[in-house]
């Protein structure tokens, strides 16, 4: 008899729990009404969901991120708000920006780099390169070697050289474009903020890092109370200017010296490798400050001058021809860290002199070049935002 009573008690508990779950589902359907009629097949018992979400909230942050990641992808991809009922029981999807930032772009870029180094069979080279040429509109008539069979792997094809006459260097204007690409933004730097695309800015100090010592830069000491922007301007009456050039995958991937200047210092920021496509640049504030980049600073005839090569997805490798110690896209790094290297030493007190148009470096795919420099107030850009430009063409002059 006692055993039968216990069985009866257990059965009653099961029935009461089932009744509670059924009532909860009915209430959920009643409250939602026609709003989610297209997703009724995904109506879950809310008690079970709350219990599961409670378990997730007790997990460590990395584990929770890993569990939430695929569900968030489905939340944004499935039609008709199919997973919207989950938000009514306490679950919140990651934001689109946070979701994109969680993608292992550095790992993907290293894998892409390895793939680029694989030597292709001779018979496969022409169809593979022809597909790339057709997709991104590459003009192979400008290449120093037009024969596609000459390029052993994708890396050699991306870094192809041009015929000498393909990019004449403008001798009249003082600053030329260092690469092929698209002008995203240009103008004077204001309030220590620089526009990566129209309406979206980033901090000048976050982008360049702390000011380099005046001993290395040959600059006069600025008063300590001045802003970071004012400390970079070394001559009275000058202003600070910037220009952002986006290199698409089909563009010529090498970059050159934009003027006659001396490189005194290199600063390497390890970081993310998110896409620098203009659409993404509008979406993520301070994108260029998050991404891996190599900042070259020095001086030209009007004062401070810098050129920054910004990495991107599948562009983990940034190469500077005269800097053999630079290694980008390392497997591990400390967030917010940077590595400094001075080109001014006992044997070379003048830094690295660069002539206008001289080869400076290369990317493995498309990316972005940012110029920040000091010039007199009458400096004028000869550009329009969004225009295509080629290496050697004028950016501006006095």
- Six-digit token string for 160: 């192809």
| Burial readout 209-222 (b: 16 or more C-beta within 10 A, e: otherwise) | beebeeebbbbeeb
Worst-scoring range by mean pLDDT, 113-122, 170-179, 190-199? 190-199
368-376/303-310 β-pairing:
antiparallel
Mean pLDDT to the nearest integer, 375-397: 91
Per-residue confidence (pLDDT) for residue 126, from 0 to 100: 93
Query: What is the arithmetic mean of pLDDT over 115-127?
Result: 90
**Which pLDDT value is given to residue 4?**
54
pLDDT confidence of residue 83? 65
Q: Is 338 left (phi over 0), alpha (psi -120 to 50) or beta?
A: beta
26-40, 64-78, 286-300: segment of lowest average pLDDT: 26-40
First to last CA, the chain: 104
The region of weakest confidence among 83-92, 138-147, 165-174 is 83-92
Pairing verdict, β 261-269 and 193-197: unpaired
Where do the H-state alpha helices sit in the chain?
2-32, 46-57, 61-77, 96-101, 105-116, 122-136, 154-158, 204-208, 214-217, 228-232, 278-283, 287-290
Query: How many angstroms separate the Cα of 50 from the Cα of each of 3, 45, 65, 89, 307?
Result: 34, 9, 18, 6, 53
**Tens digit of each residue's pLDDT (9 = 90 or more) over 284-330:** 777 888 888 999 999 999 999 999 998 877 655 788 999 988 888 77
Residue 29, pLDDT score: 45
Q: Which residues contact 205 (CB under 8 A, 6 or more apart)?
A: 192, 228
Task: State mean pLDDT over 219-234.
Answer: 69
218 contacts 333 by C-beta, under 8 angstroms: no
**Mean per-residue pLDDT for 161-179?**
89
Q: What is the mean pLDDT of residues 242-267?
A: 91
- Judge whether 173 counts as a catalytic residue: no
Distances (CA, A) of 207 to 97, 102, 186, 271, 285: 20, 21, 16, 12, 12
Q: Looking at the predicted structure, is the pLDDT value of residue 373 above 90?
A: yes
> Does 227 or 18 have the greater pLDDT score?
227
Q: Which pLDDT belongs to residue 30?
A: 43
Q: Please say if the pLDDT value at position 64 is more than 80.
A: no
Q: Are 5 and 13 in contact (CB under 8 A)?
A: no
Pick 192 or 26 by higher pLDDT.
Answer: 192
Supply the pLDDT for residue 73.
65
Residue 385: pLDDT band with limits 50, 70, 90 = confident
User: What pLDDT is recorded for position 238?
Assistant: 92
DSSP assignment of 307-348 equals EEEEPBTTB--EEETT-TT---S-S---TT--EEEES--SS-
Band of the pLDDT at 276, cuts 50, 70, 90?
A: confident
Say what the pLDDT of residue 37 is.
Answer: 44
Establish whether 367 is a catalytic residue.
Answer: yes
The two tokens of residue 118 are 């694989």
Q: Residue 213: its pLDDT value, please?
A: 60
pLDDT recorded at residue 39: 44
197 or 153, which is more confident: 153
> At residue 258, does pLDDT exceed 80?
yes
Q: Would you state the pLDDT for residue 395? A: 93
pLDDT 10s digits, 83-102: 666 666 566 666 666 767 77
Q: Which of 180, 251, 299, 323 is catalytic?
A: 180
More confident residue, 245 or 47: 245
378 has a pLDDT exceeding 60: yes
Whether 256 sits among the annotated catalytic residues: the reply is yes
Average pLDDT, the chain: 77
Greater pLDDT, 179 or 366: 179
Q: What is the pTM of this model?
A: 0.75
User: Confidence class of residue 32 from pLDDT cuts 50, 70 and 90?
Assistant: very low
Give 66's pLDDT tier (boundaries 50, 70, 90): very low
Q: Cβ-count burial of 165 within 10 angstroms (0-12 exposed, 13-18 middle, 19+ buried)?
A: exposed
**Beta pairing partners, 55:** none
């Amino acid at each position: 008899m006692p055993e039968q009573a216990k069985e009866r008690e257990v059965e009653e508990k099961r029935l009461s729990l089932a009744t509670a779950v059924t009532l909860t589902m009915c209430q959920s359907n009643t409250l939602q009404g026609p709003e989610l009629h297209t997703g009724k097949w995904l109506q879950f018992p809310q008690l079970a969901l709350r219990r599961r979400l409670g378990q997730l909230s007790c997990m460590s942050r990395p584990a929770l991120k890993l569990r939430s990641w695929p569900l968030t992808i489905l939340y944004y991809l499935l039609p008709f708000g199919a997973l919207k009922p989950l938000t009514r029981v306490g679950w919140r999807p990651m934001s689109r920006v946070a979701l994109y930032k969680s993608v292992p772009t550095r790992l993907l870029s290293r894998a892409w780099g390895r793939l680029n180094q694989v030597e292709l069979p001779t018979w496969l080279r022409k169809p593979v390169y022809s597909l790339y040429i057709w997709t991104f509109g590459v003009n192979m008539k400008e290449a120093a070697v037009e024969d596609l069979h000459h390029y052993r792997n994708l890396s050699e094809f991306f870094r192809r050289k041009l015929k000498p006459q393909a990019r004449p260097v403008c001798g009249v204007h003082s600053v030329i474009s260092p690469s092929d690409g698209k002008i995203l933004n240009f103008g004077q730097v204001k309030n220590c903020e620089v526009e990566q695309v129209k309406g979206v800015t980033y901090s000048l100090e976050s982008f360049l890092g702390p000011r380099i010592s005046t001993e290395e830069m040959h600059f006069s000491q600025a008063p300590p109370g001045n802003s970071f922007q004012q400390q970079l301007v070394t001559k009275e009456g000058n202003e600070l200017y910037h220009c952002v050039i986006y290199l698409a995958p089909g563009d010529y991937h090498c970059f050159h010296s934009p003027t006659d200047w001396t490189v005194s210092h290199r600063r390497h920021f390890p970081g993310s490798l998110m896409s620098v496509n203009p659409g993404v640049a509008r979406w993520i504030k301070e994108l260029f400050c998050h991404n891996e980049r190599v900042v070259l600073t020095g001086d030209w005839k009007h004062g401070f001058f810098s050129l920054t090569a910004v990495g991107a997805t599948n562009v983990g490798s940034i190469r500077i021809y005269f800097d053999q110690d630079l290694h980008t896209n390392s497997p591990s790094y400390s967030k917010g860290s940077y590595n400094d290297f001075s080109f001014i030493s006992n044997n070379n007190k003048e830094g690295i002199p660069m002539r206008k148009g001289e080869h400076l470096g290369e990317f493995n795919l498309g990316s972005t070049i940012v110029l920040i420099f000091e010039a007199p107030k009458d400096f004028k850009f000869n550009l329009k935002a969004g225009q295509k430009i080629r290496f050697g063409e004028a950016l501006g002059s006095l």
